[in-house]
Structure 1
Amino acid sequence: MIAVAVVDAETPGNVGTIARSMKNFGLSELLLVDPPELDPDGEAYGFAGQAREDILPAARTVSFDHLVEHYHTVACTAVPNEDANNHVRYPAVTPSDLAASLQDVDGDVCVVFGRERVGLYNDELARCDEICSIPASADYPVLNLGQAATIVLYELRELTVERNQHPDSLHTTAEAAAVEGLHDEFGRFLDAIEHTEEKQAKTRRMFRRLLGRARPTGRETRTMRGLLRQARQRIERGSD
């Protein structure tokens, strides 16, 4: 299942536009983080088309923590003219590659869109499993929120509108909570080896991106977590 989340939208009309695009391309679960008021007689419902009958009124308000804890998260963001060593926004897949990237994810996926003016904050991007960015002119790479969502959701149509045409995959991705447990253990491991404090956030982001692309199975996740725990415990005993 693929859900869509909109974080801290300022304009109700953009929420309605995204709901309409979801209806167009076979998605139904809309999650809102810090949403504006959505008046049934206002522009959100006016822009939503037929989505005003089901998707928009059924939208759930959740926290950003909820997204990270319960979904394989894909953050959609502009990639400005930055060095590719910026591990907050890189590596990023394009919308045209996103469906292929997600087709083996058996757990729930959430595609996350951010604010109209500034998009998702860096600390939010750092907590997501994958980054998706729409290639655009370097002179003006930032798209309107509703436009960006429509482009991304269109490219996901083979997983939503045409999802029944895909054969079952033998790869079963670990549940989001299990992957988060592995991230927590990796953080404790970094503390145990006294990894430089100012480099820890960057290292953890790199590890999150790596796991996001690899999509480990439940068994792989448990094994890696166990290995990190054993290594950490040996280091801690040796330092006593």
Structure 2
Amino acid sequence: MHKPALPLEGTDTFNDQIRIVLVETSHSGNIGAVARAMKNMGLANLWLVNPASFPDEASYARSSGASDVLDKAQVVGTLDEALADCLLVMGTSARGRKVPWPVMSPPDAAVKASEYSTRGQVALVFGRENNGLSNEELQRCHYHIHIPSNPDYSSLNLSMAVQVVCYELRMHYLRGLEEQGESPYLDPMVSPGDGGWDVPLANVNDVEGFFGHLERVLEEIDFHRRDNPRQLMTRLRRLFQRAHLDQMEINILRGILTSVQKAAGTRQADHRTKPTVASATDDGQEEDHV
């Protein structure tokens, strides 16, 4: 039994205006893998030209929850049928044809395909696993798409090639949403203060309290000497400030320092060693280190 279909996005990336066309695929499992690659990137319009075997269990097994893409796949006997109503046709190809043809990289092809998809159907054509598209088939294409893979090992699995092109389509689509202020997908989250971070950025007062606590502990355990400080605290300050610590991280570090003081028997029971916010223990609970 094949896996049930997992839900697709509420709106397909290009409202099914961009179709993926596979020509004479010999291994049905590759069809399933292509369906998965398409659904990963929000596409669902799959056309199959004279596949060796479809539908079958292998294609559904390899789709890994993209069975809905396979369920509505169009199976036709010729490439002419797959392209008849399309306004733009782009086919994947290696460079080096005797007669040069307009060729694009996947990112540029995504821009062009997206532009034409607002006017009508766009076909992205992928050839056979062993020898790709024939010269005659490539001449049916307005543009060729060249994936700049390693020239010493340039052959891509069919689903990999589809994934590369679909990814670029997806990125172009998301950038368009971002420009309209509608997409959170591309917003980076690398430090406290970025959207999605779970704890606010520590303020200057919290950070300075930590540095003061750290210096005292290092003195208490004879790791740092005020009479011969060298550059220890300067380098430690640079290290921790480079991390842009959040409030929870400050509190965890101060809790560690307090535990060091307890273990060393040097802890002073005054307000200077008390963290300013709650910290998380290993089991996810919060506690105050006092």
Is 1:48 aligned to residue 67 of structure 2? no
Write the deviation string for residues 130-170 of structure 1: whole angstroms up to 9, x where unpaired.
11010022223221111111111111104556766678xxx
Q: How does the TM-score come out when normalised to structure 2? A: 0.51
CA distance in 2 between partners of 1:3 and 1:13 (Å): 19
In 1, are the aligned partners of 2:114 and 2:169 still within 8 Å (CA)?
no
Shift of 1:75: 0.4
Q: After superposition, what is the alpha-carbon deviation per residue over 1:94-118, rounded to whole angstroms, capped at 9, x for unaligned?
A: 1122222223212211111110010
Post-superposition CA distance 1:153-204 (Å, at most 9, x none):
111104556766678xxxxxxxxxxxxxxxxxxxxxxxxxxxxxxxxxxxxx
Aligned partner of 1:20 in structure 2 is 36
**Paired positions, count:** 160
Paired residues for 1:75-224 under 5 Å: 75-79=91-95, 82=96, 86-87=99-100, 90-105=101-116, 106-158=119-171
SS at match of 2:48: strand
Distance 1:162 1:51 in 2: 25
Looking at structure 2, the residues matched to 27 and 157 of structure 1 have their Cα atoms a distance apart, in angstroms, of 9
Q: Is the 8 A contact 2:110 2:165 kept in 1?
A: no
Kept in 1, the 8 Å contact 2:27–2:53? The answer is no
Residue of structure 2 aligned with 1:57, choices 67, 71, 91:
71
CA RMSD between the two structures:
2.1
**Cα pair 2:18 2:113 within 8 Å, conserved:** no
Query: Partner of 1:233 in structure 2?
Result: none
Measure, in 2, the Cα distance between the counterparts of 1:111 and 1:117.
Answer: 18
Matches within 5 A, 1:1-12: 1-12=17-28
In structure 2, the residue matched to 1:34 is 50
The amino acid of 1:45's aligned partner reads Y
Whole-angstrom distance in 2 between the partners of 1:64 and 1:39: 19
Q: Are the equivalent residues in 2 in contact too, given 1:26–1:161 (CA < 8 A)?
A: no
1:38 maps to a residue whose letter is F
3-state DSSP class of the match of 1:50? coil
Whether the aligned pair in 1 keeps the contact of 2:90 and 2:145 (CA below 8 Å) is yes
* Greater mean alpha carbon deviation, residues 131-140 or residues 96-105: 96-105
| Superimposed CA distance per residue, residues 50-83 of structure 1 (whole angstroms, 9 cap, x where no aligned partner) | 111x11021111221123321111101222xx26
Query: Could you list the runs of 4 or more consecutive aligned residues of structure 1 that deviate by over 4 angstroms after TM superposition?
Result: 159-167
* Unpaired runs of at least 5, structure 1: 168-240
TM-score after normalising by structure 1: 0.61
- Structure having the higher helix fraction is 1
Highest Rg: 1 or 2? 2
Is this contact kept in 2: 1:25–1:160, CA < 8 A? no
Indicate the percent of aligned positions where both proteins have the same amino acid. Answer: 34
> Are the aligned partners of 2:103 and 2:144 in contact in 1 as well (CA < 8 Å)?
yes
